[in-house]
Chains A and B, each alone.
Chain A
Amino acid sequence: MAVIANPFAGRYVEDLTPLMDIGAELGGLLGDKCVAALGISSDQAESYGKAVMVGENGELEHAAAILHPKLGAPLRKAVEKGAALVPSSKKMGGPGQVLDVPLGHKEAAYVRSHFDGIEVRLNDSPRANELLVAVAVTDSGRPLPRVGGLTHGAAEGIDGLR
């Protein structure tokens, strides 16, 4: 997780390019930190997710600017490949509020054992003028998957879906 200043807190700005660039930087930085925290090599990562919580002086669109245009590519580099879309969530919130980060298989979005989520929260963030940016990476799916569907082993990982 990173807690950063929201450059557009308290005002309406049309061009959100600076936030998109911040997203690119954080995608690589947080992706690498996730892999390092797991103590795995990047190809051992199996699923990922991302989310942003916007402090009260920002707007939801700021989260979208961080998450969607540029964060994905460097994150995929950090976990090697990653054909599937990176599942995401976003919301407005205050210090201590919970943010649920959705998780999905990095190569094939339909791998059912890897539909998952992780809760993050920081007691002191996000302050009104801040953004809390979370990236999550796993080295496996749920602990005891038994609801069927596409499995990790059977996924092709070509179109990002199956």
Chain B
Amino acid sequence: MPEVKIRKIISCTEEIYHEGGPKADTPLRRAAVVAVIENPFAGTFAEDIQPFMDDLKPLGLEMATRLVGLLGGDPAVVEGYGKGAIIGAAGELEHGALWHAPGGYAMRDVLGGAKAIVPSSKKVGGVGARLDVPVTHIEASYVRSHFDSMEIGLNDAPRANEMVLTLVMTTGARVHNRAGGLQGGKMRGKDGLRWAEIYERLRYGLRKPIKRSAKLSRPPLARRWLWR
């Protein structure tokens, strides 16, 4: 398969101190690494595109490592992540889907086996197109405090035969997070959706007082049966 031809890599970090409310003691940090690469399938319809996922693995790892570096070098500070792709006009959306595995698993590896699915967005676009990259908690997708997003885009990319690939990491909840729901913390993820301790409570007859947030995140009936 073709090698990955990188035209440029962009790194950016946001430090958010407040958004009109009280100033945070520790600013929320969001970082994005964006790579502009040649789309090897541009202008053609190729049936067999999956081998390119393997070719993208080293790039994914490189970008994920750079992200941790941008946030200070300690993977433990990373609490949210997301990924995305903009495919130049001579390509198809499916080419962007090739980024799911190499981008997502690279971040999960670098973060020591994060459990939650990495949310993503993708589209076909021209030079200057912007992409809103969704962000969720790395251990439990339902953590409402960490639902976030970051906009990325470049004035000169993607050209028709290019793809813009991006990975995003954040260090915490939205700066004035107060919309309720499941909250973030240093807890263990169970299945990548909710916290392990919430499942314990559901399973062992709710002996401990249960928080409203846990009730809200109770899984559907059919699935609760499976655990018992």
By beta carbon, the residue of chain B nearest A129 is: B20
Instruction: Judge whether B155 and A123 touch: CB under 8 Å.
Output: no
Q: Which of A37, A98, A123 is close to B151, meaning CB atoms less than 8 Å apart?
A: A123
- Inside 8 A of A14's CB, which chain B residues have their CB? none
B130 at the interface (CB under 8 A from A): yes
A42 to chain B, nearest CB (A): 20
A119 at the interface (CB under 8 A from B): yes
Q: Which of the four size classes fits the interface of chain A?
A: under 10
Q: What are the interface flags for A35-70 relative to B under an 8 Å C-beta threshold, 1 for contact and 0 otherwise?
A: 001000000000000000000000000000000000
- Cα(A140)–Cα(B25), bound, Å: 37
Summed over the interface, the residue pairs from A and B with CB atoms below 8 Å come to a total of 5
- Cα(A98)–Cα(B156), bound, Å: 13
Instruction: Judge whether A98 and B155 touch: CB under 8 Å.
Output: yes
By beta carbon, the residue of chain B nearest A100 is: B155
- Cα(A123)–Cα(B150), bound, Å: 9
- Inside 8 A of A37's CB, which chain B residues have their CB? 11
- Inside 8 A of B130's CB, which chain A residues have their CB? 123
A97 to chain B, nearest CB (A): 12
B176 to chain A, nearest CB (A): 13
Give B154-174 interface residues, CB cut-off 8 Å to A: 155
B162 to chain A, nearest CB (A): 16
- Cα(A123)–Cα(B149), bound, Å: 11
Instruction: Judge whether A119 and B155 touch: CB under 8 Å.
Output: yes
- Inside 8 A of A123's CB, which chain B residues have their CB? 130, 151
By beta carbon, the residue of chain A nearest B17 is: A3
- Cα(A37)–Cα(B31), bound, Å: 13
- Cα(A123)–Cα(B130), bound, Å: 10
- Cα(A119)–Cα(B11), bound, Å: 14
- Cα(A37)–Cα(B155), bound, Å: 20
By beta carbon, the residue of chain A nearest B70 is: A37
Give A1-50 interface residues, CB cut-off 8 Å to B: 37
Q: What are the interface flags for B126-139 relative to A under an 8 Å C-beta threshold, 1 for contact and 0 otherwise?
A: 00001000000000
Give B89-132 interface residues, CB cut-off 8 Å to A: 130
- Cα(A34)–Cα(B70), bound, Å: 13
- Inside 8 A of A119's CB, which chain B residues have their CB? 155
- Inside 8 A of B151's CB, which chain A residues have their CB? 123
Q: What are the interface flags for A77-112 relative to B under an 8 Å C-beta threshold, 1 for contact and 0 otherwise?
A: 000000000000000000000100000000000000
Can you pick out 5 interface pairs between chain A and chain B where the beta carbons lie within 8 Å of each other?
A37-B11, A98-B155, A119-B155, A123-B130, A123-B151
Residues of B near any A CB (own CB < 8 A): 11, 130, 151, 155
The 3 closest A-B pairs by CB, nearest first: A123-B151, A119-B155, A98-B155
